Amino acid sequence: MKRVILVQRNCLTNGESKNIRQLIELQDLAISANYTVVGDVTQTRRPDRKYQIGRGKVEELALMVIELGADGIIFSNQLSATQIYNISETCKCEVIDKFQLILEIFAERATTKRAKLQVELAKFQYELPKAKAIVSLLKKEERPGFMGLGSYEDSYEQDLKSRISRIKKELASVQKDNESRRIKRHEHGFSIVALAGYTSAGKSTLFNALVDEDVHVADMLFTTLLPTTRALNIRGRRVLLTDTVGFIEDLPHWMIDAFRSTLNEIFLADVILLVVDASESPDIMRKKLDTSYNTLWEQIKGVPIITVLSKIDRITGDELKEQLENVGYLAPNPVAVSAKNGWGFAELKTEIYGQLPKWKRDTVSLPMSEYGMSIVSWLFNEGIVHSINYKDRIIVDFEARDEIILKAGIIEKKR
């Protein structure tokens, strides 16, 4: 795991709380990209053309890199090619900015062909304005490997442009592949529950706490599952819980499509858990909820949303009441939880259970034979079996989605 130092030039016009939030967001992003954060540096000043932060600060940073044994530096501010070059020259390690970091995360999370293309497109679009500067910097001094470029030539910019147009063409012809995956998972009697919300809202902590609490459910059915998806059992219903990168503050427009493609799992979901940090100020919480709905709305019509107010161990009961009143109409089905100590988990599960696609209850009578037993095990896989009575026939009282009830009825009539 790479050890990194985080650096942020604080904007003179940003308030202190926004600066702190941005640094925490950067840290969460670094962690979700599997970096180990070994230190951080901030400086409040106007941007320096050559180094982004002050030259003296960069020299301090170079010492820190040695002392802390860091392999890389991640900047919170967007860097120009010149800045990346100069800082990495001084600090003798890899330097990236938040946007490259986000692209790394998106690339890792992109599961469909379409998503992969969109992430690649964003990457090239990020590099394009830098292309000219990179080539001239590289010419100045032999630097193979800089910014992932093995070799280079004047046509680098041209090459990027043609790659961009090729990807755009390919994207136009790639099918949307959501439906088939949704059907496949539903065939196994699973419903999909996705965690949405801003970075640092507490999604991953909640994901882990819910998964840890659960007794093991067969994950094996889905060997292709991402590490961010786990099978859960909620009152007998099988659920695939999916963690997501989540929303990122002030995302530049050229990243929006790539970002949306990583939300694929959210758009596939049967229920969305929209997580908001209840310990943030009422203004910020409302703003984040508002933006979240705007981002989701178009594509999730009809999908129920549960608003999860997280980290309630950090606030008092009165403050929680205030937050609930404050977000009011913006927060459908609110549930307050603390992933730290498990508060509200029972309520959350009840709420999830209540919002899952409805299943019906039925009884089926099957022959007492190997064939009948195979149908019983099929019902165990696809639904919830409430009771089995073995007489001259096997009587199964079960609950499942419509399709299964229909199939079971046909099987019953056949035999």
Ligand X SMILES: Nc1nc2c(ncn2[C@@H]2O[C@H](COP(=O)(O)OP(=O)(O)O)[C@@H](O)[C@H]2O)c(=O)[nH]1
Among ligand X, Mg ion, none, the one that 201 touches (CB under a kind-dependent 5 to 8 A) is ligand X
**Contact assessment for residue 195 and residue 276, using Cβ atoms and an 8 Å cutoff:** no
* Closest distance of CB 207 from ligand X, Å: 7
- Cβ-based nearer residue to Mg ion, 79 or 110: 110
- Residue 198 has φ and ψ, to the nearest 5°, of -70, 160
Q: What angle do CA 134, 137, 139 make, to 5 degrees?
A: 110
* Closest distance of CB 25 from ligand X, Å: 8
Among ligand X, Mg ion, none, the one that 163 touches (CB under a kind-dependent 5 to 8 A) is none
Among Mg ion, ligand X, none, the one that 200 touches (CB under a kind-dependent 5 to 8 A) is ligand X
- Cβ-based nearer residue to ligand X, 21 or 238: 21
Coil, strand or helix: which one is 392?
Answer: coil
Q: What span, in angstroms and rounded, lies between the C-alpha atoms of 9 and 325?
A: 36
* Closest distance of CB 221 from ligand X, Å: 25
Coil, strand or helix: which one is 398?
Answer: strand
- Cβ-based nearer residue to ligand X, 200 or 307: 200
- Cβ-based nearer residue to ligand X, 191 or 310: 310
Q: What is the CA radius of gyration of the chain?
A: 26
- Residue 71 has φ and ψ, to the nearest 5°, of -100, -15
**Contact assessment for residue 5 and residue 70, using Cβ atoms and an 8 Å cutoff:** yes
Q: What span, in angstroms and rounded, lies between the C-alpha atoms of 84 and 75?
A: 10
* Closest distance of CB 67 from ligand X, Å: 25
Which residues have CB under 8 Å from 259's CB, separation 6+? 106, 245, 248, 251
Q: What is the DSSP letter of 359?
A: -
* Closest distance of CB 213 from Mg ion, Å: 18
* Closest distance of CB 278 from ligand X, Å: 9
What CA dihedral angle connects 32, 35, 39 and 41, to 10 degrees?
-70
Among Mg ion, ligand X, none, the one that 288 touches (CB under a kind-dependent 5 to 8 A) is none
- Cβ-based nearer residue to Mg ion, 114 or 203: 203
* Closest distance of CB 381 from ligand X, Å: 31
* Closest distance of CB 95 from ligand X, Å: 24
Binding site for ligand X (CB under 6 A): 28, 197, 199-205, 246, 310-311, 313-314, 338-340
- Cβ-based nearer residue to Mg ion, 117 or 276: 276
- One DSSP character per residue, 182-238 reads HHHHHHTTEEEEEEEEBTTSSHHHHHHHHHHHSPP---TT-TT--TTEEEEEETTEE
Q: What span, in angstroms and rounded, lies between the C-alpha atoms of 279 and 314?
A: 6
Site size toward Mg ion, by CB under 5 A:
2
Annotated binding site for Mg(2+): 204, 224
Side chain identity at 212, as an amino acid letter?
A: D
- Cβ-based nearer residue to Mg ion, 119 or 134: 119
- Cβ-based nearer residue to ligand X, 57 or 311: 311
Q: What angle do CA 190, 192, 195 make, to 5 degrees?
A: 150
The secondary structure of the chain in percent helix, strand, coil, rounded to multiples of 5, reads 50, 20, 30
* Tokens of residue 50, six digits: 């050559």
Q: Is 204 an interacting residue with respect to Mg ion (CB under 5 A)?
A: yes
Element (H, E) at 400: strand 393-400
Among ligand X, Mg ion, none, the one that 202 touches (CB under a kind-dependent 5 to 8 A) is ligand X
Binding part of the chain for Mg ion, among 195-203, 214-222, 380-388, 400-408 by CB under 5 A, reads 195-203
Binding part of the chain for Mg ion, among 87-95, 183-191, 203-211, 358-366 by CB under 5 A, reads 203-211
In the complex, residue closest to Mg ion by CB: 204
Among Mg ion, ligand X, none, the one that 313 touches (CB under a kind-dependent 5 to 8 A) is ligand X
Among Mg ion, ligand X, none, the one that 338 touches (CB under a kind-dependent 5 to 8 A) is ligand X
- Cβ-based nearer residue to ligand X, 229 or 338: 338
Which residues have CB under 8 Å from 413's CB, separation 6+? none
Among Mg ion, ligand X, none, the one that 401 touches (CB under a kind-dependent 5 to 8 A) is none
Annotated binding site: 197-204, 224, 243-246, 338-340
* Closest distance of CB 16 from ligand X, Å: 19
Nearest to 127 by CA among 89, 160, 151: 160
Q: Is 229 an interacting residue with respect to Mg ion (CB under 5 A)?
A: no
Binding positions for Mg ion, rule: CB under 5 A: 203-204
